[in-house]
Structure 1
């Protein structure tokens, strides 16, 4: 009881006494309340607007899931969810690491609009290895840049965020009625995944509680509360970001599955994915039990690729922090049984599309004067139309250390540059030396053969589009030489 009450956030006296009692009652005592409302909810499935749950996993790679081919990780619940969803097989994060990716998705804008390009400083790595002085990074999105939470709240939704926030100091100032666990921190740094831990409105003093489980407990309480309709739940789990801490019994299970030479062989990382999968199953089961599944739009995705040293993304190249496919192509699932037919969709899409898609589904107008760079996916989701042909862009005028054999070099995961995908073609431009890399993803998914010199016309076509986009978005291009650089 004490834990449940401490997790409540009372904002501006919005909660009635009855809803407060529902939230504060033990789960066993609430079964009668839940059962009495389930039938009523089933009868309201066709009513719009939908409830919305946006699940954003931290550092989960495209190849870290069973439905994408992994035989080491075990994800039966997520695999089942994928079979019930529209699976965008060419779904992308708008950036290759967490802060800029989340800033883009929550604002619906490309990185040059908000200026968040990386985590903390942009001059990462040794000064002697950086040829250019990178663009200065913006740590947080501005509070006067409306988020998805702001827009849906203005449209009549009750809003909550539970887990890793990272993009401002306080999500309650960015359109959310409830914040559980969210700060400007980029990871679970107040105790890790095993209790005791302490996060905003999410404190556990007794040992033996797993953070991913506890966040799901809070999410289940939230979606089961009859007083909040319609709701928008942003659920950015801390998992599977470092520190890598799994449950002991699961770690022992995955130790027995290790195959030498495999790019996926970390049993503790696998244990964390397994716990995550268990909790996705719990949450989806709750929607079923509450009669909410049909008219709840659920997004499942990740903020960037998997960490290369922990989990390789073969056949995709590289991982988190790199702008090869392993760093930016993501699980990209949208389930809404009342409106969306399950199946695979090869259309290239990106996380900035979530903002206009959710507004379209909820029949909510965008904030006045708001620039939205993404497109609504609703026509693709409902079968009412096709997405207009377009290019996808990435801009990273910064350095990010920690290169590996799959990156451009072994020093940096990212050197300053930009990238574009248009159709099957992808071009990467690096600002230090004007280097260009061109790949045909339909024939070379792993980006092994640079075609820039053999296809000069296509190279110049995409480069022209990329430069035009940078001009349109006022994207900064670093050019000042670093005096500390040692060639």
Structure 2
């Protein structure tokens, strides 16, 4: 009764609540977050009640992946629906000129010129906010954003104006949620469907959680560094809960698609507080795997799925959901199409250097290509950038942390999977 009264009041104020209006989209992107560091994914200590609830209400793919384990190209893949070698945003930063110190480089004309080239690559690839404009969507950028102003990504509204990876946008979640709430209010006043990119720098370092949360974990973690990271995950979960509640309390629950994933993984080194080898920037699941959730009440049946999903699937999935016909072919699938999900048995990915080698040649920055077929995972190193690495093959079902390399005793499987990988992309 109260809900019906609220919807009636919203209608009287001129705010659109039509059931047939294009659905709103809220995309939550965690930053540097290990795939298993959620209560619903089995972590024995970390508390994530809001994300647990979202997972329960969503079609949740527990075997989700991003194609690469580095922030900038991963985010570009999410927003374009393309692999890094296709959108050409393969790395975080431009090449450093010989003899220049990294700190000096970031304030140099060469750095700015390089970032301009990268931003143009993203524009040429096409972004989800740009595609949503044909349906009249307002779109808001908050949090992590590498490509200069939010406008370069096609957003109509945003917080980032040109800083290396977010500037004012990095205040979201850590300091305030108000820009998101103000944007939703404005979109409703204008009777516009909206898209929110909520990508706070959380639980990303600096790991500076509130004392109340650090106190919750400091006696349960193997070190203070780990406790701080665990507390950051908890803090991030709180902000997600606030955002979800805000949407639901405004009567927008049924007509809003929530999407959740992480841009890449993170494992805290308990001694240093930095990331461990098999996480961020690596070719391993610790850097590549993430749960992927889609909540759309009345349209998407909640389910925990072990089928394979990938971040590049989100653009074609969302375009189909809002009734937009793609103007090009995407490599991903519609995650709301059960037949397509069941038929898929293979994922592909690629990892690149932190700084570009050549801004216009994706293969020049390649470190590894990888393929998952069922539970087999093959990793092929690039001979130029990883000359000392060997081919790796893992059984992810028996060995989820990729400890035992099976390549030497499975030559035929290596050959078969290598052939598939080359058919996908051979530099």
Q: CA deviation at 1:310?
A: 6.1
How many residue pairs match? The answer is 387
Question: Out of 222, 226, 236, which is 2:183 matched to?
Answer: 222
The corresponding residue for 1:154 is 134
The corresponding residue for 1:372 is 330
CA distance in 1, matches of 2:314, 2:185: 24
CA distance in 1, matches of 2:253, 2:225: 35
Unmatched runs of 5 consecutive residues or more in structure 1: 1-31, 125-135, 191-198, 203-209, 401-413, 476-487
CA distance in 1, matches of 2:79, 2:270: 27
SS at match of 1:442: coil
For normalisation by structure 1, the TM-score amounts to 0.72
The corresponding residue for 2:406 is 451
Contact 2:350–2:366 under 8 Å retained in 1:
no
The corresponding residue for 1:236 is 199
SS at match of 1:67: coil
Q: CA deviation at 1:40?
A: 9.3
The corresponding residue for 2:375 is 424
Judging changes above 3 Å, is the alpha-carbon distance between structure 1 residues 422 and 377 closer, same or farther for their aligned structure 2 residues? same
Show structure 1 runs of 4+ deviating over 6 A: 32-35, 38-43
Contact 1:92–1:328 under 8 Å retained in 2:
yes
CA distance in 1, matches of 2:13, 2:58: 25
Question: Out of 344, 352, 368, which is 1:389 matched to?
Answer: 344
Contact 1:266–1:310 under 8 Å retained in 2:
yes
Give runs of aligned pairs for residues 9-88 of structure 1, distance below 5 A.
Answer: 36-37=9-10, 44=17, 46-88=19-61
CA distance in 1, matches of 2:307, 2:118: 32
RMSD between aligned residues: 3.3
Judging changes above 3 Å, is the alpha-carbon distance between structure 1 residues 449 and 122 closer, same or farther for their aligned structure 2 residues? farther
Q: CA deviation at 1:305?
A: 0.3
Q: CA deviation at 1:391?
A: 2.6
The corresponding residue for 1:410 is none
Q: Which of the two has higher C-alpha Rg?
A: 1
Deviations 1:109-155 (A, max 9, x none): 1111122222225689xxxxxxxxxxx99744332221011001122
Does 1:329 find its partner at 2:302? no
CA distance in 1, matches of 2:29, 2:277: 22
CA distance in 2, matches of 1:249, 1:291: 32
For normalisation by structure 2, the TM-score amounts to 0.81
Q: CA deviation at 1:360?
A: 0.5
Q: CA deviation at 1:265?
A: 5.8
Give runs of aligned pairs for residues 67-466 of structure 1, distance below 5 A.
Answer: 67-121=40-94, 139-140=118-119, 141-166=121-146, 168-181=147-160, 183-186=162-165, 199=168, 211-212=172-173, 214-225=175-186, 226-227=188-189, 228-259=191-222, 266-309=226-269, 318-366=278-326, 368=327, 370-380=328-338, 386-398=341-353, 416-430=367-381, 431=383, 432=387, 435-466=390-421
Q: CA deviation at 1:304?
A: 0.1
CA distance in 2, matches of 1:429, 1:336: 38
Judging changes above 3 Å, is the alpha-carbon distance between structure 1 residues 239 and 35 closer, same or farther for their aligned structure 2 residues? farther
Contact 2:350–2:370 under 8 Å retained in 1:
yes
CA distance in 2, matches of 1:38, 1:317: 54
CA distance in 1, matches of 2:311, 2:409: 32
Q: CA deviation at 1:358?
A: 0.6
CA distance in 2, matches of 1:39, 1:267: 49
CA distance in 1, matches of 2:44, 2:15: 37
Judging changes above 3 Å, is the alpha-carbon distance between structure 1 residues 69 and 119 closer, same or farther for their aligned structure 2 residues? same
Contact 2:70–2:281 under 8 Å retained in 1:
yes
Contact 2:56–2:302 under 8 Å retained in 1:
yes
Higher helix share: 2
Q: CA deviation at 1:214?
A: 4.2
Deviations 1:221-259 (A, max 9, x none): 323442243111111112122222111332233223334
Contact 2:222–2:270 under 8 Å retained in 1:
no
Contact 1:246–1:271 under 8 Å retained in 2:
yes
